[in-house]
Structure 1
Amino acid sequence: MTVDLTAAEGVAPRGTLALTEEVASGKPQRHRSRRRTVAVVSALVLAATCILMVAPFLWAAFSSVKPTDVAFSNPPVFSFAPTFQPYVDLWQTTNFYIYLINTIVVAVISTIVALLVGLPCAYALSRYGGAASLVLLVMALVFRALPRFAVVLPMYEISKSIGIYDTRVALAAALIAINQPFTIWLLRNFFAEIPRELDEAAMVDGCTRIGMLRRIMIPLMGPGILTAGIFVFLFAFQEYLTAAVLTDINAKTVPVFIATQIGQNLPLLQQASAATVLLTLPVVAIAFIAQKYLVAGLASGAVKG
């Protein structure tokens, strides 16, 4: 029979003694208090950041439903009878619906084409390593990091020379070229997560690269395609500088229209606030609807690459 001398002598084990001393000294309480303080401070910082980010949109939203005589008064007026006349005037006295259609059409076209081009490119770059792949990725990153004017001004000259200036085609082509590097980088990270054994098994069964991409890879890339598509759509939907340079009247988008209203009289400025709200609401709706897909897609694409 084995006798536990420690227990027999009434001496607590070393781990128990250390835990008792820690409890006696108050360390767990201090740790919990410190964690609680950090959590409270973090929550306050996040709340303040959210308020600062949402405040401009709320200011525009309130300005769009205030009576014109108090919409931009200083100090601001918070007690007022709301009116939706600026929204009515926006639709009836301007071509806002045309600008909105232009914005949506250009964003949809640029998103579809960017995905159609980006999927095979990203798949090839994820499967074929080496210096050539690295050079192409770096070149794409450099192109995306260039100042926007360095890209837009040549596009302006090209669109003028071939006769497509102030058209949806010219604007969509420019946005595709600008956003394509981001699309390729993002999709490549998703493709890199898919095991290469799937490629080998499909090729053993007689599948070609194009067939494998269409039948196997793209179905597995659902979150990645959705994530890239949403980002490209939002980039194109809110783009101002490219649209301001490449459009005049026929293909003008909502961000350009809003910029032209700034500095005008109060009714036009109030219409710009209403247009800002109408431009922001689809973005907020997309963010809420696709939130879980965006989070899942970004987390999946960030594991490897």
Structure 2
Amino acid sequence: MSQINWKQPALFVLLLAFTVVNLLPIIWAAMISVKNPVDAFMTTLSFNFEPTFEYHLKVWRDSEFLRSFFNSIAVSVSTVLISVSCGTMAAYQLTRMPPGRSRVILLSILGMRMFPHILLALPFFVIAQLFNLIDTYFLLVLAFVAINQPFTIWFMRSFFADVPREIYEAAAIDGCNAWQTFYRVALPIVRPGLWVTSLFSLLLAYNEFLFARVLTGAKTKTLPVAISSFGTEDVSYWPLAAAAAIGITLPIILFMVLLQRHLVRGIAMGAVKG
């Protein structure tokens, strides 16, 4: 009689429990967003309530929320385009450098990323005031690129490091110069990694609160800052804030669903050597 292998079922149960724990706050927020205030403030869990989409409609009809939504999209997409483009070229060059020199640069970049954001936000604010850049898209994109750049460089370097050097040597033999080797040979190979890096860079920019709170005003306020303004004494605060939180997550969920195939390939590429 063969011995039963319990490893896979146990792993499945653990992953399922982990997923449920992580999804529970989202499910709870989704439930509150369709409840009336009297049901939302109940201390006991109850599924016996009449759902309403009044607060979802109220959030999206709010001109300030819509303005903040478009601000977040514009700033996040601009940040991704700049930080991923620059980070990809930097990461490629770092993989072609001698290990000793590249290690010093990578550790220096990582050290900058380890600084608390508040230490960087205050200098940004002072410099922006001197040049009259407060409440401008240029300043916000510049700040988001600065805090995202170390992440994109490290992430893309892991994908370029998996590309065999023999491919670069074959491209050189075929007559490709440095730019052609990067653009026509290396970049298509790591394209799935570009999608993964772009997603995480988008998440970092889209969810950034501290820099957005310090550097924005009424014109460039982003969604994380806008949703904090829903904290009032009104009893409708919880359903309204929950509806806003669900609204914030929808673009990211849609992006992940549309690019699921590329994301899975990119994660697998970064996890497997050779």
Per the normalisation by structure 1, the TM-score is: 0.82
Is residue 142 of structure 1 aligned with residue 108 of structure 2? no
CA contact (8 A) 2:79 2:202 kept: yes
AA partner of residue 154 (structure 1)? P
CA–CA distance in 2 between the matches of 1:165 and 1:240? 16
> In the alignment, is residue 50 of structure 1 matched against residue 9 of structure 2?
no
Unaligned runs of 5+ in 1: 1-22
Matched, 1:267 2:236: yes
Does the 8 Å CA contact 1:64/1:84 hold for their aligned counterparts? yes
* Residue number in structure 2 paired with 1:218: 187
SS at match of 1:186: helix
What displacement does 1:40 show? 4.7
1:226-272 C-alpha deviation (Å, 9 max, x unpaired): 11111111211122222112212111111111122235422243221
Distance 2:115 2:187 in 1: 31
Question: What displacement does 1:136 show?
Answer: 0.6
Aligned residue number for residue 158 of structure 1: 127
The code of the aligned residue for 2:170 comes to A
Please tell me whether residue 233 in structure 1 is matched to residue 202 in structure 2. yes
CA shift, 1:304, in A, is: 4.7
- Asked if the contact 1:189–1:304 (Cα under 8 Å) also holds between the matched residues in 2, the reply is no
Distance 1:106 1:93, change over 3 A: closer
2:146 equivalent among 147, 164, 177:
177
Q: Considering Cα pairs closer than 8 Å and 6+ residues apart, tell me whether 1 or 2 has the greater RCO.
A: 2
Structure 1 counterpart of 2:79, from 110, 127, 146: 110
Cα–Cα, structure 1 residues 137 and 88, in superposed 2: closer, same or farther, change >3 Å? same
Q: Does 1:194 align with 2:163?
A: yes
Quote the Cα distance in structure 2 between the aligned partners of 1:215 and 1:43: 41
Does residue 69 (structure 1) correspond to residue 38 (structure 2)? The answer is yes
| Conserved? CA contact 1:224–1:297, under 8 Å | yes
Divergent runs of 4+, >6 A? none
Using the TM superposition, name which of 207-216 and 126-135 deviates more. 207-216
Decide whether the 8 Å contact of 1:189 with 1:302 is kept in 2.
no
Aligned pair in 2 of structure 1 residues 299, 41: CA closer, same or farther (>3 Å)? closer
2:48 to 72, 79, 82: 79
- Counting matched residue pairs gives 274
Contact 2:94 2:157 in 1 (8 A): yes
Structure 1 range deviating more: 81-90 or 64-73: 64-73
One-letter amino acid of the structure 2 residue matched with residue 194 of structure 1? V
Cα drift, residue 94 of structure 1: 4.6
Identity across the alignment (%):
35
Letter in 2 for 1:217: A
**Kept in 2: contact 1:127–1:192 (CA 8 A):** no
